[in-house]
Amino acid sequence: MPDDVVLTEEQLSDALKALPGWEMKEGWLRRKYITPGWPHTMMLVNTIGYLAEAAWHHPDLTVGYAQVTVKLQTHRVRGITANDTELAKKIDEVVLWKPAPGDSLDGFPKNWVRGDH
């Protein structure tokens, strides 16, 4: 597939600059998210699953009581492609979103999903 071009080290380095909190580890683009507890963890897993399915991508997830680790890699080429970096960006955009202070939406009053830095 044309989208299966593995990113060069330079391209990957540039992509990581635009993905704070994400890192390369053992050939995977990965990030850990911390949640307030099990119900939020399950909502997070389902949200990531929904986004991944819409993108026709299949991340590896490690799920714990109050955390989810996302590992992205284009399995067909066993490397990181633009598909992986774009999905990482979309995951962050959706799962870390909260209403701004003073917004008409109140926002969850307690801890919310946060990226582990």
> What is the residue extent of each domain of the chain?
9-97
- DSSP strand pairing (60-64 vs 23-25): unpaired
The structure's pTM equals: 0.91
- Let me know: does 87 contact 72? Beta carbons within 8 Å: yes
2-60 residue pLDDT tens: 568 999 999 999 999 999 999 999 999 999 999 999 999 999 999 999 999 999 999 99
72-104 residue pLDDT tens: 999 889 899 999 999 999 999 999 998 888 889
- Let me know: does 111 contact 36? Beta carbons within 8 Å: yes
What phi, psi does 103 have (nearest 5°)? -70, 155
Residue 29: what pLDDT?
A: 97
For the domain made up of 9-97, the CATH class stated in words is alpha beta
Helices (DSSP H) in the chain: which residue ranges?
Answer: 9-17, 38-54, 82-95
Confidence of residue 117 (pLDDT cuts 50, 70, 90): low
Written as six digits, the tokens of 61 are 């997830």
Residue 15: what pLDDT?
A: 95
Residue 115: what pLDDT?
A: 87
Residue at token pair 């009581």: 65
Residue 100: what pLDDT?
A: 86
Residue 110: what pLDDT?
A: 78
DSSP state of 33: E
